[in-house]
Amino acid sequence: MHDFKLATLNINGMTASTRVGMFTDFIHRQDLDIIFLQEVTNPDKLQISGYALHHNVGTTIRGTAILVRNEMTLTNIHKMPSGRAI
Protein backbone atom coordinates (compact mmCIF):
# COMPACT_ATOMS: atom_id res chain seq x y z
CA MET A 1 0.00 0.00 0.00
CA HIS A 2 1.27 3.46 -0.93
CA ASP A 3 0.64 6.72 0.86
CA PHE A 4 0.46 9.90 -1.19
CA LYS A 5 0.50 13.52 -0.13
CA LEU A 6 -2.21 15.41 -2.04
CA ALA A 7 -3.33 19.01 -2.14
CA THR A 8 -6.08 20.85 -3.98
CA LEU A 9 -5.74 24.59 -4.45
CA ASN A 10 -7.58 27.42 -6.16
CA ILE A 11 -4.74 29.57 -7.50
CA ASN A 12 -7.04 32.27 -8.94
CA GLY A 13 -5.08 32.79 -12.16
CA MET A 14 -1.72 33.21 -10.39
CA THR A 15 0.99 34.40 -12.81
CA ALA A 16 3.20 36.79 -10.79
CA SER A 17 6.73 35.41 -10.46
CA THR A 18 6.85 36.10 -6.71
CA ARG A 19 3.65 34.17 -6.06
CA VAL A 20 4.70 31.31 -8.32
CA GLY A 21 7.97 31.14 -6.36
CA MET A 22 6.07 31.01 -3.06
CA PHE A 23 3.82 28.31 -4.51
CA THR A 24 6.84 26.28 -5.65
CA ASP A 25 8.45 26.59 -2.21
CA PHE A 26 5.19 25.44 -0.59
CA ILE A 27 5.00 22.35 -2.81
CA HIS A 28 8.60 21.36 -2.06
CA ARG A 29 8.37 22.16 1.67
CA GLN A 30 5.22 20.04 2.03
CA ASP A 31 6.79 17.26 -0.07
CA LEU A 32 3.57 16.89 -2.08
CA ASP A 33 3.10 14.07 -4.59
CA ILE A 34 0.00 15.29 -6.45
CA ILE A 35 -1.47 18.79 -6.61
CA PHE A 36 -4.88 19.53 -8.13
CA LEU A 37 -5.28 23.15 -9.28
CA GLN A 38 -8.30 25.29 -10.13
CA GLU A 39 -8.48 28.65 -11.90
CA VAL A 40 -5.37 28.08 -14.02
CA THR A 41 -4.92 30.82 -16.65
CA ASN A 42 -1.30 30.44 -17.79
CA PRO A 43 0.03 26.89 -17.40
CA ASP A 44 3.45 27.90 -18.76
CA LYS A 45 4.07 29.74 -15.46
CA LEU A 46 3.45 26.53 -13.52
CA GLN A 47 6.36 24.46 -14.83
CA ILE A 48 7.86 23.28 -11.53
CA SER A 49 11.08 21.31 -11.29
CA GLY A 50 10.48 17.69 -10.34
CA TYR A 51 6.82 17.69 -11.46
CA ALA A 52 4.93 16.92 -14.65
CA LEU A 53 2.12 19.34 -15.46
CA HIS A 54 -1.15 18.20 -17.05
CA HIS A 55 -3.43 21.13 -17.80
CA ASN A 56 -6.75 21.91 -19.38
CA VAL A 57 -7.45 25.58 -20.04
CA GLY A 58 -10.64 25.74 -22.06
CA THR A 59 -12.99 28.14 -23.71
CA THR A 60 -13.38 30.40 -20.66
CA ILE A 61 -9.60 31.07 -20.48
CA ARG A 62 -9.56 29.48 -17.03
CA GLY A 63 -9.04 25.85 -16.33
CA THR A 64 -7.67 23.07 -14.22
CA ALA A 65 -4.32 21.35 -13.84
CA ILE A 66 -2.65 18.46 -12.09
CA LEU A 67 0.98 18.50 -10.99
CA VAL A 68 2.46 15.05 -10.43
CA ARG A 69 5.94 14.05 -9.28
CA ASN A 70 8.07 13.02 -12.24
CA GLU A 71 8.40 9.49 -10.80
CA MET A 72 4.62 8.99 -11.12
CA THR A 73 2.71 8.36 -14.34
CA LEU A 74 -0.83 9.44 -15.12
CA THR A 75 -2.74 7.59 -17.82
CA ASN A 76 -6.16 7.94 -19.42
CA ILE A 77 -6.37 11.68 -18.87
CA HIS A 78 -9.70 13.01 -20.11
CA LYS A 79 -10.37 16.73 -20.51
CA MET A 80 -13.65 18.62 -20.67
CA PRO A 81 -13.71 21.19 -23.52
CA SER A 82 -14.71 23.94 -21.07
CA GLY A 83 -11.45 23.45 -19.16
CA ARG A 84 -13.34 22.98 -15.90
CA ALA A 85 -12.22 19.39 -15.32
CA ILE A 86 -9.58 16.82 -16.11
pLDDT of residue 43: 93
Parse the chain into domains and list their residue ranges. 6-69
Residue 66: C-alpha distances to residues 1, 8, 34 (Å): 22, 9, 7
pLDDT of residue 60: 81
pLDDT of residue 84: 87
Which of 40, 30, 43, 42 is CA-nearest to residue 4? Answer: 30
Angle at 51 between CA 47 and CA 31, to 5 degrees: 120
**At a CB cut-off of 8 Å and minimum separation 6, what does 8 contact?**
35, 36, 37, 38
Pairing of strands 34-40, 63-69: antiparallel
pLDDT of residue 15: 87
Class of domain 6-69: alpha beta
pLDDT of residue 5: 97
Digit-coded pLDDT (tens) for 15-32:
899 999 999 999 999 999
User: Which parts of the chain register pLDDT below 70?
Assistant: 1
